[in-house]
Amino acid sequence: MNLEELNQIRETALAEATAAADAAAVEAVRIKYLGRNGLLPEVMAQLKDVPNEEKPLFGKGANALKNELAELIKEKQAVLSSGPKKGGAFDPTLPGQWPALGSEHPISKVTARITEIFQTLGFTVADGPDIETVWNNFDALNTPADHPSRDEQDTFYLNSGDLLRCHTSPVQVRYMESHQPPIRIIAPGRCYRRDTPDATHSANFHQVEGLFVGENVSMADLKGTLAYFAKQFLGEDVKIRFRPHFFPFTEPSFEVDFFFEVGGKARWIEILGAGMVDPEVFKKVGYDPDKVTGFAFGMGIERLAMIMYGIKDIRMLYENDVRFLSQF
């Protein structure tokens, strides 16, 4: 054997490997050249009969061919094993590959449903930032620094002096400061409180705020609006009751309970806070409280989602466990 013969083997081997069109053909080439009884081991064995002056080049060439061929075969194997299995051809009868579709998060679902119901009453959606000024979150809502209910809701302050809003009510302030009555808005969004997380508390949760301001807006409008909402949301059989409560920014203020069936048993469940906008709030945003009246309400979205879907622990809503989320 000599260098020229080796070169010929090299050319045929590489050509055959390149031409191999499926896994079986590649494997045949591999066995033919690199297998234990293949051509290349045989070539190596013949090194001793190669003319002396060609020996170094021959040895190098044989080794290089072995490596080159092995590499080429490996590449072909990788390409062929990742392609379609059947003869390497496209098979249009195979089922398609469906991308996995996510599902809507229960919080998004409930928010969308609430929004939709109020939109049918002519409410539009307003928005505000999570980072709020102390003025919008407290002062303009008639909650001065020494007000006891400010302690209760004291929240996360930033170095700038701003804070993470503890409710969506500051959107009322923003909206009134930039718009003139009549006003009909709802404002869904994220809120923050200094709560220790447990099954029913989370330092981060969501609310939907509602605000209706105009001439002669009355308690009757508030009741009618919330009763309509309750029926749309939970069905015709729901009952609704107002319990006296206190919020600094509404007067009078209420907690509103809905009576409906959950887990096979009907009972009263506290759903939201509401009231007639306090004249002090109107003054703070530059409205004339002798000309306009209004009502506002705020409800927790997690609470509604948990009741509707029978979720026992609020933390499950934030764990992003697909097994949990894909149930909704």
Residue numbers at the binding site for ligand PHE (CB under 6 A): 167, 169, 209, 247, 250, 273-275, 296-298
Beta strands in the chain (DSSP E): 124-125, 131-132, 156-157, 163-164, 183-192, 204-214, 239-247, 250-262, 265-277, 293-300
User: Which residue number, 72 or 281, has a Cβ lying nearer to ligand PHE?
Assistant: 281
Q: Reduced to 3 states, what is the DSSP secondary structure of residue 97?
A: coil
User: Which residue number, 169 or 225, has a Cβ lying nearer to ligand PHE?
Assistant: 169
Q: Is residue 104 a contact partner of residue 135, using CB atoms and an 8 Å limit?
A: no
Element of type H or E holding 200 = none
Give the residue nearest to ligand PHE (CB): 298
User: Which residue number, 50 or 140, has a Cβ lying nearer to ligand PHE?
Assistant: 140
Closest distance between ligand PHE and the C-beta of residue 275, in Å? Answer: 5
User: Which residue number, 29 or 166, has a Cβ lying nearer to ligand PHE?
Assistant: 166
d(CA 306, CA 322): 17
User: Which residue number, 142 or 169, has a Cβ lying nearer to ligand PHE?
Assistant: 169
Closest distance between ligand PHE and the C-beta of residue 82, in Å? Answer: 55
Closest distance between ligand PHE and the C-beta of residue 101, in Å? Answer: 35
Closest distance between ligand PHE and the C-beta of residue 157, in Å? Answer: 18
Render 136-187 in DSSP notation, one character per residue. Answer: HHTGGGT--TT-HHHHHT--EE-TTS-EE-SSSTHHHHHHHHH-PSSEEEEE
Closest distance between ligand PHE and the C-beta of residue 81, in Å? Answer: 59
Closest distance between ligand PHE and the C-beta of residue 323, in Å? Answer: 32
User: Which residue number, 168 or 238, has a Cβ lying nearer to ligand PHE?
Assistant: 168
d(CA 79, CA 71): 13
User: Which residue number, 111 or 250, has a Cβ lying nearer to ligand PHE?
Assistant: 250
Q: In terms of Cα–Cα distance, which of 266, 273, 264, 206 is closest to 245? A: 273
d(CA 247, CA 253): 6
Q: How many residues does the chain have?
A: 328
Q: Is 210 left (phi over 0), alpha (psi -120 to 50) or beta?
A: beta
Closest distance between ligand PHE and the C-beta of residue 244, in Å? Answer: 13
Q: Is residue 28 a contact partner of residue 38, using CB atoms and an 8 Å limit?
A: no
User: Which residue number, 33 or 297, has a Cβ lying nearer to ligand PHE?
Assistant: 297
Looking at the DSSP bridge assignments, the partners of residue 155 are none
Exposure string over 59-96, b if 16+ CB within 10 A, otherwise e: eebbeebbeebeebbeebeeebeeeeeeeeeeeeeeee
- Rg of the chain, C-alpha, whole Å: 37
Residue 206: phi, psi to the nearest 5? -130, 145
User: Which residue number, 40 or 202, has a Cβ lying nearer to ligand PHE?
Assistant: 202
Closest distance between ligand PHE and the C-beta of residue 209, in Å? Answer: 6
Closest distance between ligand PHE and the C-beta of residue 229, in Å? Answer: 14
